[in-house]
Amino acid sequence: MVLSVSERTFTQEVLESPVPVLVNFEAPWCGLCRIIQPLLLQFNAQCGDQIKLVAINADQNFKLSTTYRLKSLPTLLLIENGIVRKRLESFRNREDLLLALEEMKLTYTNTPKSYIIPTTAELECRSA
């Protein structure tokens, strides 16, 4: 299940997310949006909790559509720490989208989730 986000929940669910967020701007009338939905669900399942997938109805969230300068639907934005890291729009075909998603998945699933910096006390214990 994909989390549906609105202008009201966008900051909390996307900009403040501790993991990268793949934002799918879509609309109910968009045929291509419905076609790519199974691919995005498969991508989401493969990434687990390392990338979060959300959907935004572009028609109902005009302010977000304008802020991110949507030119066509669907438009996918990968947002990390509040910054757009990747933008996918105007896919030529299903294979283009799959390749872009695979590249994105490899980029984010091969990086460590966090770095643990030892405290001074831990460092002193190790040297003793």
Catalytic-labelled residue, pool 5, 14, 21, 33? 33
Chain position carrying tokens 């872009």:
100
Specify the amino acid at residue 95: E
47 in active site: no
Catalytic-labelled residue, pool 2, 30, 32, 98? 30
Q: What are the residues facing 52 on neighbouring strands? A: 21
CA atoms within 13 A on the CB side of 89: 13
30 in active site: yes
- Would you say 25 and 79 are in contact if contact means Cβ atoms under 8 Å apart? no
Q: Catalytic residues, which ones? A: 30, 33
